[in-house]
Chain A
């Protein structure tokens, strides 16, 4: 039983003249791994952004609850960890500086131990003082995980979690997903079978049906 709850009711999104999806329901109450799948253009990223609270839906309501009480939208961002290919980091700073600034802007502190643990876990410890400008796309992806986890969020959203990653990177991500799902909610949006294999239930966006696996 998680102390965080996400409820999305009859979510409809229209971009100009294009209907992306209509009347989609999605909710998470238990810790675990949830999946969202669908072909390209089915609106996976859009749906993910809506349930994270980044975009507003055209119709429908998204509620985030912590210990039964709704979370103030001003404070929601610190409960959430988000990784996506279209997430950008600051090139002119080093990896550590990026994380440092982000934490200060969040108004949260982190322990040096946690920082070093995460950098070790994602294999960036040796390069942590290098500028992100010189990072490969795989390294940037791994840094995004550090960004998403450093503040111990209650709910994690991973859009295309294994994009740009080699096999060792993928393994690290799967390990992280499994570990985090013990205590938190993890939501994955992906088309990769290996990603979706981790999920206990998968929302298929094309057919708006909730499919239960395992």
Chain B
């Protein structure tokens, strides 16, 4: 499949050069360290630790997910890609790459976070996992679309979080709330509406992205 081939190309490129992975890994370490240092010896509430978890995820996403489109634009290979694939294929391939990246990144963040923050204890783990999966999909979709937008603009690095935050905000708020509920050990019934919201967000964003990507990609 063409989109899968594009993903494999990006993966092979990453494996060979390791541009993104190294800096992304360090970024995660640095962000968590900054938070740890700012908190110092203070005890933080469990809810606060849950919120900060998604802060780390948001900024790590902002650091790593724009590479998919920005690297092509910077090297001039956008034209090459336009010559070999349709916009739908391009978006699918890049989205798949970012999906894998988001999951890999966030699993590492989750593991590091639960190891380093005592307050981050989750009682209803399966609720958290459902929210985690649906949330990561949403983050990947929205971030990939915005990445394609900023790749065509200047000052990409600063513009990326500025554009992504309003779009991701409903998702993040729901995720923070679900995390709190999972930490409190709330049963599924009370959280089912929020999970449905996550699912809706994913579906709506993916439909909108595929429809709008053509206008971003073609000049």
Contacts and interface: CB of A to CB of B under 8 A. Distances in A.
Contacts of A92: 13, 16-17
A52 B17 CA distance: 33
Majority secondary structure of chain B interface residues (helix, strand, loop or mixed): helix
A54 B80 CA distance: 10
A56 B215 CA distance: 11
Given A56-B219, A105-B9, A90 B86 contact: no
A77 B12 CA distance: 24
Interface in A52-67: 52, 54-56
A55 B84 CA distance: 15
B156 to A, nearest CB: 18
Contacts of A74: 86, 88
A88 B71 CA distance: 12
Tell me which of A73, A88, A91, A105 has the highest count of chain B C-beta atoms within 10 A of its own C-beta: A105
Contacts of B86: 73-75, 77
Nearest to A131: B16
The dominant DSSP class at the A interface is loop
Interface residues of A, number: 25
B8 A55 contact: no
B97 to A, nearest CB: 13
7 contacts: A86-B76, A92-B13, A92-B17, A101-B5, A101-B9, A105-B5, A107-B2
A90 B83 contact: no
A90 B84 contact: no
B46 to A, nearest CB: 45
Nearest to B72: A88
Nearest to B4: A104
A82 B86 CA distance: 16
B218 A56 contact: yes
Contacts of A80: 83
Contacts of A89: 77, 80
Contacts of B89: 105
